[in-house]
């Protein structure tokens, strides 16, 4: 087997985002601008997926979560859904070599049983094949909806309480987290949305509470390595405070004691 390409971290002015999540939006608009059918944009979007996955893996990003299909996307015309599902299936087969080469572990996130049998089968095969890889975790959010995830968690919490397996007085943030689809993967640090929309569209509502948001006007098919690097450099310049007073603690204490 060929050795995995060396991990090369970019030089940054600040921290590196260990977990990047992306709302890959604007495939349709990108195609419409070129007077092409929407599927043309979805196909070009697959190229961006390939490039961003490879580039993240080679930079040593720990987790990459791509919003590929939402629970609400089932409302789209049947023809578009089946084109998307076919592209998903082809991607899962074609990219296996690339995933293996880069040590990527792939995993589905969402109501995966909603997927057509053929796509689900290829997803499971790819998960199994890449399951022992110790490089980047690539989570594909498929038939994913954050509200559904939270409702399913609430239902399971209620069942566990009813069975006496869970004490309601002990439920806290971490308890609820343990009922989510993938409780062990740390929260995203950087959440990118392409095509300019300033909304989350039901993506990782719980997990993105403190993610740094980055919205670009570029459509997903135009989002390649250079745009990814731009977003990572922008992230490195952010000051994350998580509600605290990072770097200001002494100043505040000083003012307080001077006034006393």
Active-site residue list: 25, 73
52 binds, among Mg ion, ligand IPE, none (CB under 5 to 8 A by kind): none
- Closest distance between ligand IPE and the C-beta of residue 25, in Å? 5
Nearer to ligand IPE, 103 or 109 (CB): 109
Assess contact for 46 and 215: CB atoms under 8 A: no
Residue 145 is given by DSSP the state: -
Q: What is the sign of the dihedral through the CA atoms of 130, 226, 5 and 57?
A: negative
Give the angle 175-180-184 at the CA atoms, nearest 5°: 80
Of the pair 23, 120, the CB lying nearest ligand IPE is at 23
DSSP run (H or E) holding 93: helix 78-94
Give pairs for 169-178: CB < 8 Å, separation 24+.
176/206, 177/206
Which residues of the chain form contacts with Mg ion (CB under 5 A)? 25
The entry of Mg ion, ligand IPE, none near residue 197 (CB within 5 to 8 angstroms by kind) is ligand IPE
- Rounded to the nearest 10 degrees, how much is the dihedral formed by the CA atoms of 15, 17, 18, 20? 180
Least distance in angstroms from the C-beta of 8 to ligand IPE: 29
Residues of this chain that interact with ligand IPE (CB under 6 A) are 23-29, 67-70, 73, 84, 195, 197, 199, 201
Binding partner of 67, given ligand IPE, Mg ion, none, CB within 5-8 angstroms per partner class: ligand IPE
Least separation in angstroms between residue 255's CB and ligand IPE is 44
Question: Which of 126/146 has CB closer to Mg ion?
Answer: 146
């Amino acid at each position: 087997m060929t050795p995995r390409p060396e991990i090369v971290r970019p030089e940054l002015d600040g921290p590196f985002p260990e977990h990047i999540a992306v709302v890959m939006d604007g495939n349709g608009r990108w195609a419409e601008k070129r007077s092409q059918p929407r599927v043309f944009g979805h196909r070009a979007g697959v190229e961006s997926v390939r490039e961003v996955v490879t580039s993240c893996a080679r930079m040593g990003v720990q987790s990459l979560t791509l919003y590929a299909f939402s629970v609400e996307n089932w409302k789209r015309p049947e023809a578009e859904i089946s084109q998307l599902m076919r592209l998903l299936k082809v991607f899962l087969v074609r990219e296996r070599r690339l995933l293996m080469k880069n040590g990527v572990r792939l995993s589905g996130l969402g109501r995966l049983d909603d997927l057509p049998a053929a796509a689900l089968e290829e997803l499971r095969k790819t998960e199994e094949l890449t399951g022992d890889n110790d490089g980047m975790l690539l989570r594909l959010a498929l038939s994913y909806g954050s509200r559904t995830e939270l409702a399913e968690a609430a239902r399971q919490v209620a069942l566990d309480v009813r069975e006496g397996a869970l004490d309601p007085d002990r439920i806290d943030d971490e308890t609820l987290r343990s009922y989510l689809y993938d409780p062990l993967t740390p929260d995203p640090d950087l959440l990118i949305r392409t095509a300019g929309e300033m909304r989350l569209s039901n993506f990782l509502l719980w997990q993105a509470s403190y993610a740094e948001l980055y919205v670009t006007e570029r459509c997903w098919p135009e989002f390649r390595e250079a745009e990814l690097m731009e977003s990572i450099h922008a992230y490195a310049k952010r000051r994350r405070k998580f509600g605290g007073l990072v770097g200001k603690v002494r100043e505040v204490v000083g003012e307080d004691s001077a006034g006393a």
